[in-house]
Chain A
Amino acid sequence: MNQFDDLFKHKIDEEHTFSGQNRSWETLDRNLQAFEAGAATSAKALMIWKAIALVAGFSAILLLVELNQLVSQLKNLQQSAEGVQTLEASHLPTAETGALPTLSPRQSAYPTLSSGSMESRRTRIDHSTSVDTDSEILLAAQKKGSEPMRSTMDQNVEAILPRNHTLGKTDVAQTDSIELKTFAQTPLPIDSLQSKEDIIMPEPLPPIIDPVAGVNGKWRAGVRLLVGTTMPKEMGVSSLTGKGIGITRRIWKGISMTASADFFRFEVDAETIPAHFAAFDPPPLSPGQHFHDLKNVSSSMALQQYSLGIGYTIPIVRHLGVSLNIAHAWAYSPSKVAYFRFEDMGHGGPGPYHPEEEFAVAKTRGVWQSNIWKLGIGLQYDWQRWSIGMQGDYAIQGKASESSFSALYTNASLQYKF
């Protein structure tokens, strides 16, 4: 740069105070408010959509699992139905031949009036049968140490012949083959032919499908979204928004035990320290400053609330019911950064006075609140596996303590039964 440029630079770098700072700040403040409103709205909307997506994904997975179970149960039912149909069909005579249906191996083991069996029996009592068969059987029985069994021939004959038959066993053994066809045509009572153990029992039916357990499930677990406000309304304290989880166990009929954990956020932007937020400790100001007045306190706060309680559901119509709840809660406010703005009130004297501002930053104290009682009433709608609810709770601070406040909450919940 040449001498001209150096001189020019020296001139434009001279100290100068520009006016219009307040006007500039007002314009900038409006722009920032608009930006923060849009950002907050989009951030909240994003959180809500994320929660909805999470619940939808979880629900989809559960529905898929349940669908899979239902399909497998349906297949089992179909197979059982086919089995029962086959079994029933096997007991019915065919229309073309009028002959008896084919017997299962179990059925064939018992003496019946089928022609195939007659043929085999006829063979057994034929005269050509060795006489030594009986003695062989007796010897075998004696070897086994059991009582001598009646010969197979005797058993077969007795099974075929009527009770009052006059033919002796010996006579039967030595007689020529007896024409038993005539007896096959005579209908005989089943009791005389078969013992009770021989009665063919049908195949046992498959077990009845258990009803859906969810309807009668004792447990419920789910998520919930909450909005609340301090009661009475604290100036400078925003509404409390949060999310939480809850679990319920049915004890008896409509009575159940409940447990929940909720996490809230809210903003403090007030001219004075809010009455029920005593955990704000303004830091000491610079020495030598007098007549300072607190003009603004701001902070982003959080609140954790844990509760145990009892609820009762009164059914109204079908799956809709009114829920009443009472619970005891504990709350914790974690330590957060707070910003304080002070103004110097002035030292007196004539003329206009422009107050000087001083800013200070300090951390709030983490505070536990106990002895909080919550009374709630709401509506609950039940499906087989799911339950949705809408409830209002009034949280009363039973014992006045540092950083304690009463609040009114509204929550929407979605629970799964198991």
Chain B
Amino acid sequence: MTDKDFIVVLRGCKNFHRASQYQLHSELYNYAMHVARRYAGSNESAEEIANDAFFKVFTKLDQFVHQNGDIRAAFRGWFRRIVINTAIDGSRSSLHTPTTDELLPINECAEDNGLLEKLTFEQVLQLLDQLPPAYRTVFGLFVGEGYSHEEIAELLQITAGTSKSNLSRARQHIKKMLSKEVAFNQFI
């Protein structure tokens, strides 16, 4: 799709033309799922987050303002923020709920011994799914989106210290799971 076609599709979406909305959905569905899956915990939850994000986009498309530059890149950035905010809104209630793991002391874990490189995309997602929502969100924002701890703190309404702590615990959990996997494979 060229930039000109993309503009036409956006105009159609502004007028609530179903064909244009379908076309935009087709264009950005995979992208939305990619972003949402890091925070969702399951494919079904990610699909819900993506649908909510698309609904917000189609009903509030007039809030997208673009003056110059690559309109597709600008729209993707705007859409990405909507997906992240939708994902955070959906799990906001669990972001402050301490889990049993948070109460345990932090133990240093062994490295993954290169297993991470061998994992597939789905396996990496499964690792993320096993993290508590608070850890998963902070890890996804820091590692996946490149937010700073201050930005994460403002976004999630937590302190920067909590953000750092959650990130550290998330890494520990992932390494712990990877080390168990390595041990399991070695046993086999």
Contact = CB atoms under 8 A, between A and B. Distances in A.
Interface of A: 1, 4-5, 7-9, 11-14, 16-18, 20-21, 23-25, 27-29, 31-32, 35-36, 269, 296, 298, 300, 337, 339, 341, 357, 359, 361
Interface stretch (B25-33, B68-76, B157-165): B25-33
Interface in B102-139: 112, 116-117, 119, 121-122, 124-125, 128
Given A7-B116, A12-B128, A31-B55, 7 more contacts: A8-B116, A16-B34, A18-B37, A21-B25, A298-B19, A357-B23, A359-B8
Given A32-B16, A361-B12, A20 B58 contact: no
A5 to B, nearest CB: 5
A337 B55 CA distance: 23
Nearest to A361: B8
B21 A32 contact: yes
Contacts, number: 100
Nearest to B125: A12
Nearest to B112: A4
The 9 A-B residue pairs whose C-beta atoms are closest, nearest first, are A18-B33, A341-B19, A11-B124, A16-B121, A5-B143, A14-B121, A21-B29, A361-B8, A339-B17
24 contacts: A1-B142, A1-B143, A11-B124, A12-B124, A12-B125, A12-B143, A14-B121, A16-B122, A18-B30, A18-B34, A18-B43, A20-B43, A20-B47, A23-B47, A24-B29, A24-B50, A25-B26, A28-B21, A296-B19, A341-B19, A359-B8, A359-B20, A359-B23, A361-B8
Interface of B: 5, 8-9, 11-12, 15-23, 25-26, 29-30, 33-34, 37-38, 43, 46-47, 50-51, 54-55, 58-59, 112, 116-117, 119, 121-122, 124-125, 128, 142-144, 171, 174-175
A81 to B, nearest CB: 67
B171 A4 contact: yes
A13 B35 CA distance: 9
